Chains A and B, each alone.
Chain A
Amino acid sequence: MKNKHFSKYLVMFVILVCTVALSGCKGDKSQENTNKAPTTDDTSSKESGQDADGEVTPIYGGSIVVGITQDLDSLDPHKAVAAGTNEVLFNVYEGLVKPNENGDLVPAVASDYQVSEDGKEYTFSIREGITFHNGDAVTAEDIKYSIERCAGLLEETDPSVKVESALSNVKEVNILDEKTVQLKLEKGDTEILPYLTCAIVPANYDKLDTQPMGTGPFKFVSYAPLESFIIEKNEAYWGEQAYLDQVTFKISANTDSAFMELMAGSIDIFPYLTDDQANQLPDTYNIAEGNMNLVQALFLNNAAEPFTDEKVRQAVCYALDRQAILDMVAGGRGTIIDTNMFPAFTKYYNTDLTGTYDYNVDKAKELLAEAGYGNGFTFTITVPSNYQYHVDTAQILVEQLKAVGITAKIQQVEWNGWLEDVYNGRNYEATIIGLDSNLAPRDSVERFVSTAKNNFINYKNEQFDETFAKAIASTVDEEKVEYYKQLQAYLTQDAASAYIQDPPLLVAVNKKLAGYTFYPVYVQDMAKVYYISE
């Protein structure tokens, strides 16, 4: 094997070195780009820069390529766990209601709905003339089937279906007539609506895993694992038609390779630019800036030594200089958070918690000493390798933790391994990830109820569980808000995890395109993107 393989490796690196040498010539150019102020609006802006100029005429037609950096975990919307999958499937599926860009829930498959006063009965009218992508009309049976599937009420449920625990409150789904469906709840719940964004699928259709079929503005064309997910315009869509004829979600192994393709011009929209990449972007792209609406944290496995000790967890919180992290990985953008909710939930977000764990090395050391770890300890941070942002954050944390005597090691794992071992297996010490959330405030905190299936940090606090039950049961708005703030306070005071930030979302959008829209939830809405006239 000797010479053959030797030359193979050598060729590999000669190519690499050549690339480096060539890039030397381009250096100046990208430097210029840095100086140019990128077209960005403040974080509250909903549209990409192009629209701000006004006078843009949308053109129907054309196809684009959107870069994504993780493979889809399932094409079945009720099985998909990953935020990266749901953001793509948003284009294909709709629920009875769906979120709009302001975070409001608007009727989708249902044309309107009534809620009874006690919050126990929800009546939905099916939209007139709405059809699945194969042309079949959406029937009351389909809706009953879909809701029951999501809620785990079907007699035979595929075990891999992710049962939405918030829907466990649904007692029964009744078909009142051909066009009307009624949900009966065990207990009054005014917060269930955001969960009824759960995708409506054809009843007893067994090809959801391979041939997704929904009612959304785009229909499924093809999917090649680790390669691409292609959708095309649904001409029969009930609402505003999509502008583009076809959208290809191109799956890259990581942000680096996606960025290479961006530089080569083969990707039109790429939603996960790093700060450095944004500075290097060729001037054929605009940068749209928003918030990711994720809770990025160093999640600590509360059942793993030494994180079983609250003081150790608090020490870790104090040891993190989060402003330095933002400066390093996000160019100072991003929002520091102190609890498991992102600030976009202005109504519920508990601002009193801000500053609970301001950077304080002495305090951290003190707490460690009290917990009996005066000489520090060693632990492993497991990070999914496809998220460079989290890997970079991890590297900074390792350095910061050194200052208080804690030795952290980084273990990179691929995404599926992360889901299996960390998220589902809970076999880890600490991990860095961004948690997304549904539009309901409960979605951000419900996972920390001690019995929740997705309580992957093994958080246990009886008071928390009680308060959560009260929050759900409450039908008085102010009371509800208070309960949610209290829940966040528990998470912060117990230092359930070391919360870091809501990362900035920098999106590269080809200058020929406009209409890229930010949502307060994690979705990539392609129906609003269009080519602008020359």
Chain B
Amino acid sequence: MKVSWNRIIGAILVGIVLLFVIIGVFYTPYDPNAMNGAAKSQAPSLLHWLGTDNFGRDLLSRVMEGSRTTFFVAIATVAIGGTIGTLVGALTGFYGGRIDQIIMRINDGITSFPSILLTLVIISVFGIGKYKIIWALGIVFIPSFVRVVRSEYMVQKEMDYVKTAKLMGASDVRILFLHILPNIRPILVSTITIGFNNAVLAEAGMSYLGLGVQPPDASLGRMLSEAQAYLFSAPWYAIAPGVMIVITVLGLSLVNEG
């Protein structure tokens, strides 16, 4: 496989972000939630590399902590959406028939709502909070996986290797998950990457609206939301989490699309 420059740059960006998050697990320069009245809204300096917010909290520490929260939500969301979506997609794509038609129509129905709106509806039922947002986003992410996986299974089930396996008497479960699944890996991986990107942005969007992660905990969206009031007096507050989101999404997109 020819390695493109885009991929390399993307990998570097993702690497930086990952390093940042991993360091954040073990070490942050300050307690991300510790307030310091004497150091309110300070511009970036040697003491506070990314500056401080309106409570005097260190922004570097908060971005580290916030990225971790955001990534956790994104990974969990993709895990829920991806697992259920792949399962449903595989079954419907493989077996087809009336059930497939019904499920796909439901799927179309869900997809026809804007995803933010749908998330809001689910949140209004579940309530708000970090774990609830994971479920809400997870559910919203299911249809995209179902669609991709189903169409792959429909193509794959007509392939010779599947027919051969059937003739050899392999069980459906074996064919579904041991024969076909590995063969759709490339498309699944890219769906997951895109899904992860969407989930990072969706978490940021939801927390920005005050529906996701609750204060004082940091998440990238939550930080942007808080920074909004200080765009004019302390622009570095919004820049830190904003740039973090852009780097993450850009890096992953570059890796994925080459």
Contact = CB atoms under 8 A, between A and B. Distances in A.
- The answer to whether A and B come from one shared complex is yes
Interface of A: 1-3, 5-6, 9-10, 12-14, 16-17, 19-20, 23-24, 26-27, 30-31, 34, 255-256, 259, 263, 274, 276-277, 279-280, 324, 327-328, 385, 388, 391-392, 394-396, 398-399, 409-413
Nearest to A412: B210
B229 A256 contact: yes
Contacts of A19: 231, 238
25 contacts: A2-B195, A6-B198, A6-B201, A6-B253, A9-B202, A10-B201, A16-B224, A17-B242, A17-B246, A19-B238, A20-B235, A23-B232, A23-B235, A24-B235, A30-B232, A31-B233, A255-B229, A324-B37, A328-B35, A391-B215, A395-B55, A396-B35, A399-B33, A410-B214, A412-B210
B198 A9 contact: yes
A1 B37 contact: no
A139 to B, nearest CB: 46
Contacts, number: 112
A31 B230 CA distance: 12
Contacts of A392: 54-55
B9 interface: no
Contacts of A409: 214
A256 B81 CA distance: 34
Contacts of A256: 228-229
A13 B194 CA distance: 16
A24 B44 CA distance: 13
Greatest chain A CB density within 10 A among B35, B41, B243 is at: B35
B215 A410 contact: yes
Given A2-B198, A280-B232, A328-B37, 14 more contacts: A9-B198, A10-B201, A14-B246, A31-B233, A276-B229, A280-B233, A328-B55, A392-B55, A396-B55, A399-B34, A399-B35, A399-B216, A410-B216, A412-B210
A26 B246 CA distance: 23
Contacts of B204: 9, 13
B55 A5 contact: no
Contact of B231 (A23, A274, A411, A412): A23
A118 B253 CA distance: 82
A205 to B, nearest CB: 35
Contacts of A23: 231-232, 235
B215 A2 contact: no
Contact of A276 (B54, B238, B253): B54
Contact of B230 (A276, A324, A412, A413): A276
Given A9-B202, A19-B231, A20-B238, A327 B37 contact: yes
A274 B242 CA distance: 24
Contacts of B40: 328
A32 to B, nearest CB: 12
Contact of B229 (A6, A30, A259): A259
Interface string B227-254: 0111111010011001101100100010
Given A9-B202, A385-B210, A16 B233 contact: no
> Secondary structure of the A side of the interface?
helix
A54 B201 CA distance: 54
Contacts of B70: none
A1 B194 CA distance: 10
Given A5-B198, A276-B41, A30 B238 contact: no
Greatest chain A CB density within 10 A among B55, B143, B148, B253 is at: B55
A327 to B, nearest CB: 5
Nearest to A281: B232
A30 B202 CA distance: 32
B84 to A, nearest CB: 15
Interface in B199-219: 201-202, 204-205, 210, 214-216
B37 A398 contact: no
A30 B233 contact: yes
Contact of B233 (A279, A385, A398): A279
- Enumerate the 7 nearest inter-chain pairs by beta-carbon distance, A residue then B residue, closest first: A9-B201, A395-B216, A20-B238, A1-B144, A256-B229, A23-B231, A17-B242
Contacts of A274: 229
B6 interface: no
B190 to A, nearest CB: 9
